[in-house]
Structure 1
Amino acid sequence: MDPEDIPAEIPDTEAEALDAAIGEISGLIGQVETFLTSLLRPWNAYQVGIIIALLAVAWLMKRVLGPRIRSWMASREGWPTWRMRILAIVHRRLFIIFFVILIWITVLLMREVTWPSRSFLLTIVAELSSAWLFVVFATRLIRSAFLRGIVRYGAWTFVTLAILNLTDEAATLLDSVGFNLGDARLSLLTLVQGILVVTTLVVIARFLTSTATGRIQKNEEISPSMQVLAVKFLQVVFYGVAIYMGLRLTGIDLTGLAVLSGAIGVGLGFGLQKVVSNLVSGIIILLDKSIKPGDVISLGETFGWINSLGARYVSVVTRDGKEYLIPNEDLITNQVVNWSHSNEFVRLDIYFGTSYGDDPHIVRKLATEAAKGVERVLTHRAPVCHIVGFGDSSVDYILRFWIKDPTGGLTNIRGNVYLALWDTFHDHNISIPFPQREVRMLDDKAG
């Protein structure tokens, strides 16, 4: 493009970038034309035919050997899960694996029987297919499907440009598309570099976090609440450092973001007071160890055990399978009954009454013996029974007993003890009175 044809309103830097982009595109088009023209040469045409033939052979090998390999995998009983996963990944990539093996064998044979230039195209295809296959297996280590896809396609693009010696041209082309922001220039090249660097560092941070989390959770000397706090702290540190280092390595100046982040922080402070309060409350809960995963708590009408501690809420699972997400602030400001805070022993009380005609000494003895025979009732902390009053139609008692597994439920154990009392009283002719009403019909004549 002639510099005189550039509009006057376009700055010189943008005009130069535009000229560079057009020049790189023209150069790439010329290289593509040269490559396509070279395919018409005899030896290059032969190599293209060899590649097509090898693809067909690899496809046939997969069709023939694939079912046999799958049957062999199905017969491997008792193998570890990780080994079976590797075999499953290999089975899904049999076509490319067979092709890579065949094309490298062909390249080595042709180098022995003819000149290296006669296998130049085969070598490029062999290197590309091998690099793509390596990227497939390497990215399987990334658990997130979205992140794995980004890394995989990015790596495929990079290795393809590197093998074809087009990295400089691609970098110049990407750098030509951008704009100036003050003294800094933001371009597609900067964006791509930032994504690659940040993604790589985030993957490393994820691996380090997972490894550290596994070791922390296996350490029995650390309480569950401190384990959660340590894991959350490591996640914040590792991911924060990864993003910060990624932006710095990309060349993005972060000093200009300080004022903007301060203004955003003030706005969020007013708009997200509840969220911030829950975050701070969650940290306080983890630090003071008032509740931890596995504890049995009561908050209002909600009774259940803590499933997990989150940054914003606590997950409480009840006996009927419902999972309540209680904000951390409610656990700080409201009264919470922790049935297993200092220990797992819980005392339960049930009330009952018997007839005035039954000996209270015998009733108390029978009640304690009945409770001892119920599963989950502790015997080393023996049940006790006391008279608590003389009612209108019954002598009222309280039966107290202990359990050590509140996660097993409270209503069911109370019901079992009541049923044991019923059976015992029935066997010993102990009567349980109930209110009775007598209705008399008055004769009018008698009045």
Structure 2
Amino acid sequence: MDGHSEFAGRVLSWLEQGLAIAEGWLRSPAAWSQFALLAAAYLVARLIARRLQPRLVTIITPKAASEGLLPDLRRFLLRFLPLLLPLLAYGLTALGESLTRATFGSGEVIAFGKRVFLFLAARTLVRDVVTDAFLRLLGRYVLVPAAALYALGLLDPAMERLAAAEVVLGNIRFSLLTLIRGAIAGSLLFWLGAWSNRQSADYIKAQQELRPATRELAVKAAEIAIFGAAFLLLMSILGIDLTAVAVLGGALGVGIGLGLQQIAANFVSGIILLLEGQTTVGDYVELDGGEKGTIVKMTARACILETFDGKWIVVPNEDFITSRVVNYSDQGSANRYEAAFSVSYETDINLVPGIIEAAVAALPFVLKAPDGPDCELRGFGESSVDFAVEFWVNGIDDGKNRYGSPVLFAIWNALKVAEIEMPYPQRVVHLRPAAPAPA
């Protein structure tokens, strides 16, 4: 209750001071002249803005189809035109303040008006210029109230009040002002870091002359550098000694060595994968554990594989280093597959390779280079002669692109046309005569 009564007393004191200042202004001829200068500054600023703004729009607006850095910069500047009126009023008021102080030796009224125009500029910035949701929220609840307190001359007392209030966390003491400043600075820094990270990632990914693995590594390095710099800058703003951060880093290193070995191994493995570039985004891979799919994303901890039926498999990076990985090559490269079939023993097997190779070569997706279809005799089974035809295609038989099924259809149709039988197992059953009954 004592704290509330003390605060209420301060508020009443500020109100009394404000009423006394307003009463003094109403009785002072110098104050009335300053009010007139404020009104004149606003009217002149409004007239200049009305004439100048259409011309600025015409000059700054780029052509509709133009692209590039300069047109984007001009479009960005167009968003700030609503600030023209309050800023012009602020500038003219500043000139009027210097004039009244030289003439009357005082300029409190016009200085108050200048602060009001600055408040209007802040309000216009948040309402009409800023489009990002986070920045608009920050401006609405931080910038505009701070500008209002500054206009009323209450910003310094409020700062002193916040600096005097302490927050105790164990043996650590912070002033409320330090916590608020840290929260605002941290929000801005990490928002700026996220924006910078997106811009740098888009720029790096647009460099097609770099290998995909190099681009991914550069994106991760830029992300670590940006957020690391933001964290160190925030520590400096909060006044935290960076030696404490070094001690924390040492303790974190011990924790990683003892309890986070697997995470550290995956992180290091991810860096090795990006540096070597033997597997990268877009590759179709198959691991010893049976996982197979196209790599759609590589993170610091794991690789994301997408199967042909749309499922995502998260594979730790360490598995790519410690186990055997079959990489079916980069996108667009040729791969060899084979299809097995059998014919009966009554077939003239010397005719089979020519028939099958011609039938498979006629398929539109089968390549002639690096080698055309090759039909090979694989062995003599119990009831059939076994063959296999090898063929090259430009892609991967991953389920989406089914190359095996059309090839088998072509083999079946070609054998039917040539009247070659594809046998099935047959068994001969011998029935013994029944034994004579005992006499």
With over 3 angstroms needed to count, the CA separation of the structure-2 counterparts of 1:181 and 1:445, relative to structure 1, is closer
1:165 aligns with 2:153: yes
The 2-side partners of 1:390 and 1:137 are apart by: 83
Which residue of 351, 371, 374 maps to 2:363?
374
2:105 alignment counterpart = none
CA-CA distance at 1:303 after TM superposition: 1.6
The 1-side partners of 2:291 and 2:135 are apart by: 39
TM-score normalised according to structure 2 size: 0.71
2:14 alignment counterpart = 31
2:227 alignment counterpart = 239
1:262 aligns with 2:253: no
Q: Deviations over 1:311-366 (max 9, x none)?
A: 10100000111100101111111111111059822111221111223332332122
The 2-side partners of 1:406 and 1:370 are apart by: 21
1:211 alignment counterpart = 199
The 1-side partners of 2:251 and 2:195 are apart by: 34
1:420 alignment counterpart = 410
Aligned residues: 382
Judge conservation of contact 1:296–1:407 (CA < 8 Å) in 2. Answer: no
1:131 alignment counterpart = 122
The 2-side partners of 1:413 and 1:138 are apart by: 56
Judge conservation of contact 2:167–2:176 (CA < 8 Å) in 1. Answer: no
Which residue of 422, 426, 433 maps to 1:436?
426
1:392 alignment counterpart = 382
1:293 alignment counterpart = 281
The 2-side partners of 1:337 and 1:148 are apart by: 50
CA-CA distance at 1:170 after TM superposition: 1.7
Tell me the secondary structure at the aligned position of residue 225 of structure 2.
helix
1:110 alignment counterpart = none
Judge conservation of contact 2:301–2:317 (CA < 8 Å) in 1. Answer: yes
With over 3 angstroms needed to count, the CA separation of the structure-2 counterparts of 1:442 and 1:181, relative to structure 1, is closer
Q: Deviations over 1:6-47 (max 9, x none)?
A: xxxxxxxxxxxx9xx9877643443357769989x9xxxxxx
With over 3 angstroms needed to count, the CA separation of the structure-2 counterparts of 1:150 and 1:328, relative to structure 1, is farther
Judge conservation of contact 2:397–2:403 (CA < 8 Å) in 1. Answer: no
Unaligned runs of 5+ in 1: 6-17, 42-77, 91-96, 106-116
Greater shift, 411-420 or 337-346, is seen at 337-346
CA-CA distance at 1:182 after TM superposition: 12
With over 3 angstroms needed to count, the CA separation of the structure-2 counterparts of 1:138 and 1:406, relative to structure 1, is farther
1:153 alignment counterpart = 141
The 2-side partners of 1:201 and 1:435 are apart by: 75
CA-CA distance at 1:370 after TM superposition: 2.2
2:329 alignment counterpart = 340
Residue pairs, 1:354-365, within 5 angstroms: 354-365=343-354
With over 3 angstroms needed to count, the CA separation of the structure-2 counterparts of 1:413 and 1:365, relative to structure 1, is same
1:198 alignment counterpart = 186
Q: Deviations over 1:123-180 (max 9, x none)?
A: 988764652341245553x4xx667645653333333333333221221111011158
1:13 alignment counterpart = none
The 1-side partners of 2:429 and 2:127 are apart by: 88
The 1-side partners of 2:308 and 2:111 are apart by: 70
**How well do the aligned residues superpose, as a CA RMSD in angstroms?**
4.8
1:306 alignment counterpart = 295
With over 3 angstroms needed to count, the CA separation of the structure-2 counterparts of 1:399 and 1:259, relative to structure 1, is same
With over 3 angstroms needed to count, the CA separation of the structure-2 counterparts of 1:179 and 1:215, relative to structure 1, is closer
| Letter of the structure 1 residue corresponding to residue 213 of structure 2 | S
With over 3 angstroms needed to count, the CA separation of the structure-2 counterparts of 1:310 and 1:264, relative to structure 1, is closer
| Letter of the structure 1 residue corresponding to residue 423 of structure 2 | P
Judge conservation of contact 1:282–1:312 (CA < 8 Å) in 2. Answer: yes
With over 3 angstroms needed to count, the CA separation of the structure-2 counterparts of 1:124 and 1:258, relative to structure 1, is closer
Tell me the secondary structure at the aligned position of residue 314 of structure 1.
strand
1:321 aligns with 2:304: no
Judge conservation of contact 1:295–1:338 (CA < 8 Å) in 2. Answer: yes
Residue pairs, 1:58-207, within 5 angstroms: 128=119, 130-136=121-127, 139-140=130-131, 142=132, 149-150=137-138, 152-178=140-166, 186-207=174-195
1:12 alignment counterpart = none
| Letter of the structure 2 residue corresponding to residue 27 of structure 1 | R
The 2-side partners of 1:146 and 1:265 are apart by: 34
Tell me the secondary structure at the aligned position of residue 294 of structure 2.
strand
| Letter of the structure 1 residue corresponding to residue 255 of structure 2 | G
The 2-side partners of 1:301 and 1:423 are apart by: 34
Tell me the secondary structure at the aligned position of residue 397 of structure 1.
strand
CA-CA distance at 1:204 after TM superposition: 2.9
The 1-side partners of 2:334 and 2:306 are apart by: 20
With over 3 angstroms needed to count, the CA separation of the structure-2 counterparts of 1:182 and 1:412, relative to structure 1, is closer
Greater shift, 413-422 or 398-407, is seen at 398-407
With over 3 angstroms needed to count, the CA separation of the structure-2 counterparts of 1:336 and 1:178, relative to structure 1, is same
Q: Deviations over 1:227-253 (max 9, x none)?
A: 111011111111111121122133222
Identity of aligned residues (%): 32
The 2-side partners of 1:280 and 1:356 are apart by: 58
Which residue of 348, 373, 379 maps to 1:383?
373
The 2-side partners of 1:169 and 1:408 are apart by: 70
Judge conservation of contact 1:290–1:341 (CA < 8 Å) in 2. Answer: no
CA-CA distance at 1:211 after TM superposition: 2.1
1:275 aligns with 2:266: no
CA-CA distance at 1:119 after TM superposition: 12
Greater shift, 309-318 or 197-206, is seen at 197-206
The 1-side partners of 2:232 and 2:307 are apart by: 42
TM-score normalised according to structure 1 size: 0.70
